[in-house]
């Protein structure tokens, strides 16, 4: 099977062939078992694709894609950048918030201190230390 005949076979699925091309293809199909096998394989694939249910796409998927493409054409690159960041981090917000709350709760439960002091562990300052401007520089 030559590439020329294979391309002609592919073309026959998409457009009408001229009379000369149709005769060449029929002759090649009669002579080549490999080309006939390839034609049958392509026909089965096309038939299977026609009968596939597209359940993965939500309603109005094509309209949303077209609207998104048009909005990209009209928006500037900065807006597009921040929109993509917002989309990427939106999925991370809830798990990270739950993780932080979990760490804070673990810390609060396993220390024998008040809730706020266990959340922000720092030595308690006296009134004199709090009013001393140099004291805040020496805190670790």
pLDDT of residue 98: 92
- 94 CB-side CA count, 13 A: 2
Token pair 């026609």 in the structure block, residue: 50
pLDDT of residue 88: 82
- DSSP annotation of 60 reads T
pLDDT of residue 79: 74
Domain ranges (residues) in the chain = 3-50
pLDDT of the chain, 140 residues: tens digit per residue: 688 888 888 888 888 888 898 898 899 889 988 989 999 998 888 888 777 766 667 778 888 888 887 776 666 667 777 878 888 888 888 899 999 888 878 877 777 666 666 666 666 777 887 787 776 666 65
CA atoms of 23 and 30, how far apart (whole Å) = 11
């Amino acid at each position: 099977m030559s590439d020329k005949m294979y391309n002609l076979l592919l073309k026959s699925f998409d457009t009408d062939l001229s009379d000369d091309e149709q005769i060449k293809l029929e002759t090649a199909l009669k002579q080549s078992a490999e080309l006939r096998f390839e034609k049958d394989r392509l026909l089965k694939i096309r038939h299977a694709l026609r009968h596939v249910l597209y359940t993965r796409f939500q309603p109005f998927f094509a309209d949303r894609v077209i609207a998104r493409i048009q909005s990209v054409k009209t928006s500037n690159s900065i807006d597009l950048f921040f929109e993509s960041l917002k989309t990427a981090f939106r999925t991370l917000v809830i798990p990270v918030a739950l993780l932080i709350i979990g760490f804070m709760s673990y810390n609060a439960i396993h220390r024998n201190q008040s809730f706020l002091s266990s959340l922000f562990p720092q030595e308690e300052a006296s009134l004199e230390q709090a009013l001393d401007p140099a004291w805040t520089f020496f805190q670790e």
